[in-house]
Amino acid sequence: MKTIYFVIPCYNEEEVLKETAKRLEEKMESLMENKKISENSRIVFIDDGSKDSTWSIIEELNKLDEKFSGIKLSRNRGHQNALLAGLMTVKEKCDAAISLDADLQDDINVVDKFIDRFIDGCEIVYGVRSDRKMDTIFKRTTAQGFYRVMKVLGVDIVYNHADYRLMSKRSLDELENFKEVNLFLRGIVPLIGFKSDIVLYERNERYAGESKYPLKKMLLFAFEGITSFSVKPIRIVLGVGIVMFLSSLVALIYSLVVWILGKTVHGWTTLVSSVWMLGGLQLLGMGIIGEYIGKIYMESKGRPKFIVEKFINK
């Protein structure tokens, strides 16, 4: 039997955490009874610098039942870093880790299929939403638009997949080799390769509390994904600069013709030509410089992605 760790990042989840723990415990006990996972399997909550009683609840759960473990980060590092902290902390203790959100929107009933695919030889199993009926029209439209834009920009991500996935210890070992500080795991994990599969599921309504991803955060997250995996936006700026520069040459010829024909105001030719020419040259220069800065910036900081303050695991 395989040892499976459930890895759940948490930020201010006091309203939902006990119910999440209850449902996951029931699911884990069912898996153990059916001999799908070993008794060494655990449920690991990662406290991402919460300001409420999230960590106190995690400590309480750990005291009541050894199936619950907790990781406390030294400060808030964001969902992706908290998730990575959990995966890297537990990878030596399990055969595979299943990551999911704490809000109970991910359907834990499909975990059996995750494990079946893993036993059949898949190193990575992606949870993919079968539909977006629960989303508002705005969120559905923007989410689908995001996946299309990412595909156009050449980023290899799984359509309608968030961070509900199973990763084997082997794939977690390879994930550790990715050193970028600006994390976008939905883009990084497919780069690992290895045999993978998808499991379809329907997303539930949030049990309690508020979403930790309002519109502003979703837009920033999307921008992070685009800038972390593609330099095409910079190349678009470069292309615009080239077009503007060529347009300025056309405008220069036109303004000279108008000047020769005597159909212009004194000084107009010089003004128009200089504005178009300088604007094109500036965008061209910014595009070329940005091509290099964009690549350097992603690798230069080298700051730690997370700092684990405590790890409670019986």
Instruction: For strands 4-10 and 196-201, give the pairing.
Output: unpaired
Residue 46, pLDDT above cutoff 90:
yes
**Mean pLDDT across the chain, nearest whole number?**
82
**Least confident among 38-47, 70-79, 241-250:** 241-250
In this prediction, residues 63-73 reach a mean pLDDT of 92
Q: Name the more confident of 238 and 120.
A: 120
Query: How much is the pLDDT for 270?
Result: 64
Give the architecture (CATH level 2) of 4-230: Alpha-Beta Complex (3.90)
Query: Each residue of 80-120: pLDDT tens digit?
Result: 899 999 999 999 999 999 999 988 888 899 999 999 999 99
Band of residue 29 on the pLDDT scale cut at 50, 70, 90: very high
CA distance readout (Å), 35 to 30, 94, 100, 131, 309: 9, 16, 22, 31, 34
Query: Each residue of 177-207: pLDDT tens digit?
Result: 988 877 788 888 998 989 999 999 888 776 5
**Least confident among 14-23, 93-102, 211-220:** 211-220
Query: Each residue of 126-170: pLDDT tens digit?
Result: 998 877 666 667 677 776 777 777 777 777 788 778 889 999 999
Query: How much is the pLDDT for 30?
Result: 92
Query: How much is the pLDDT for 254?
Result: 74
Residue type, 79: H
For 214, list phi and psi in degrees, rounded to 5.
-70, 180
Terminal-to-terminal C-alpha distance of the chain: 20
Delimit the domains of the chain by residue range: 4-230, 232-300
